[in-house]
Amino acid sequence: MNAQVKPMPQIAVQTISEKVDRFVDLTNQLSFVDALIKERDSLRKQLSEHADTIGSGAVKLTGNNTYVSFTKAPLMRSIENIGGFLEAVGLDSFLTAVKISTTVADKLLNETQKTALFKATTGARRVKDTGEIMQAVKPRQGAQLFEFLSGLSNPDR
């Protein structure tokens, strides 16, 4: 399935209205991609799990007309003894290596501590919704449209 994306002609200065219309147009064109990516990821997980049952090395699975190759599963590691890691690398290196979750920190600190320790900045806005604006039909055009539509239901006209 190939999506036809029509490039927007380069205009020296786009108005906000034109930018909004183009943004919504692109959002609508790309909306079908989300479902395809979700389905593809689900299939990739299922096929990967099947490959795990075959062996630990690289695996090639074949379909009727295509194939997919999986690499050897990577070795995943995690630090079990955080105190031992701190002792081995020293405080400065430890602080460079460690990432602290603000969600977890929020649960551990009271409001006074949060105020003293956190720096809050405004992030980027997220799009909440997009849609089309219904354009009102001018009275004269409405009458012409009604006349046209009524002619469709009355073949004698």
In a domain, 148, yes or no: no
Per-residue pLDDT of the chain (157 residues), as tens digits, is 555 666 666 555 678 989 999 999 998 888 888 889 999 999 999 999 999 999 889 999 999 999 999 999 888 898 899 899 999 999 999 988 988 888 999 999 999 998 899 888 888 888 777 777 777 766 666 667 767 777 776 666 5
Q: Which residue has 């320790």 as its token pair?
A: 117
pTM over 0.85: no
Of the candidates 37, 23, 29, 34, which has an alpha carbon nearest to the alpha carbon of residue 129?
A: 23
**Which structural domain, as residue segments, surrounds residue 112?**
78-119
Q: 114 and 98 in one domain?
A: yes
The pLDDT assigned to 67 comes to 93
Q: 18 and 71 in one domain?
A: yes
> Do 95 and 103 contact (CB within 8 A), yes or no?
no
In a domain, 83, yes or no: yes
In a domain, 62, yes or no: yes
The pLDDT assigned to 142 comes to 65
> Do 24 and 132 contact (CB within 8 A), yes or no?
yes
In a domain, 20, yes or no: yes
Task: Give dist(CA 40, CA 142) in Å, integer.
Answer: 47
In a domain, 9, yes or no: no
Q: 62 and 94 in one domain?
A: no
Structural domain count, the chain: 2
